[in-house]
Amino acid sequence: MLKRFLPKETVFFDYFEKQIALTIIGTKEFLELVTKADNIRERVERIKEIEHQSDTVTHLCYSALRKTFITPFDRTEINALIKKLDDIMDAVDSAAERILLYEVTEFLPEMRELALILVHASIELEHALKILRKSKKRQGVLDKCVIIHQLENDGDAMLRTAIGRLFKEEKNPIQLIKYKEILEDLESATDYAEEVANLIEGVILEED
């Protein structure tokens, strides 16, 4: 009963917002990578640096969670939310690493489309998280989550289109595998974005 009347620690929203801000930077950097196809090593290294920063934010959030008595919502939800936010950047970093490892220098249009979807989904998540901090604007959060769900559906469709086209047109089986793995990493990132939206929706529904 006493916990209901004690102030709740809001630092976790700072961590969420820092994490998604890094994700926006990282997804935009990846979009530049597959659009301009220049300075590939430098861009991949920059994405790796952003991913490391993202990991740091995650660990700081975990540490704060261990030390905090009153949290803005359930501890398991905070833990899951920061982890899934981190997973988005991990998947983007994995795609970038494969590009460098496989020496890919020509990029499929579907890679650019998936990267663009990720940028848009990250921006919508940022809006949702900022609204979530303000408890009086629940519907605004849910509206953003609907957009993210649609973007994830678009990502699924884009992956199916790309894989289908590759099996029809790509004659080099090794190249096909390279492209397929990069595309799947990107689509996984859209899945993680949707999982973040699901967690946010869960927080809203529990508090209503």
In CATH terms, the fold of domain 9-197 is: Methane Monooxygenase Hydroxylase; Chain G, domain 1 (1.20.58)
pTM: 0.92
**Confidence class of residue 98 from pLDDT cuts 50, 70 and 90?**
very high
For 143-158, letters b (16+ CB in 10 Å) and e give ebbebbbebbebbeeb
Determine whether 127 is exposed, middle or buried from the number of CB atoms within 10 Å of its CB (0-12, 13-18, 19+). middle
Q: Which of 77, 74, 26 is CA-nearest to residue 53?
A: 26
Give me the pLDDT at residue 5, please. 34
Q: Which two tokens stand for residue 185?
A: 């990493």
d(CA 45, CA 41): 6
* Cα angle 189, 191, 193; round to 5: 70
Q: Which two tokens stand for residue 76?
A: 């398991």
d(CA 102, CA 175): 9
Give me the pLDDT at residue 9, please. 60
Neighbours of 112 (CB within 10 A): 15
**Confidence class of residue 8 from pLDDT cuts 50, 70 and 90?**
low
